[in-house]
Amino acid sequence: MREGFIHRNHMGLLLFAATPAALLDLFAGWRPPVVRRAWLDRSQV
């Protein structure tokens, strides 16, 4: 993050674990964050 590779707001998208098994457990329980809709639909164009 310090080097600017990923923005602080996106850190929640990354998973870290000490072992592969622990990382797989994190993957199994991961849910994407709720974000506002960024795209327009046809009624907005």
**Predicted confidence (pLDDT) at residue 3 exceeds the cutoff of 80:** no
d(CA 43, CA 45): 6
| pTM, full prediction | 0.57
pLDDT of residue 24: 98
Q: Are 18 and 26 spatial neighbours (Cβ–Cβ below 8 Å)? A: no
pLDDT of residue 27: 95
Radius of gyration for the alpha carbons in the chain, expressed in angstroms and rounded: 16
Tens of pLDDT along 4-45?
788 888 888 899 999 999 999 999 999 988 877 778 778 877
pLDDT of residue 1: 58
d(CA 27, CA 16): 10
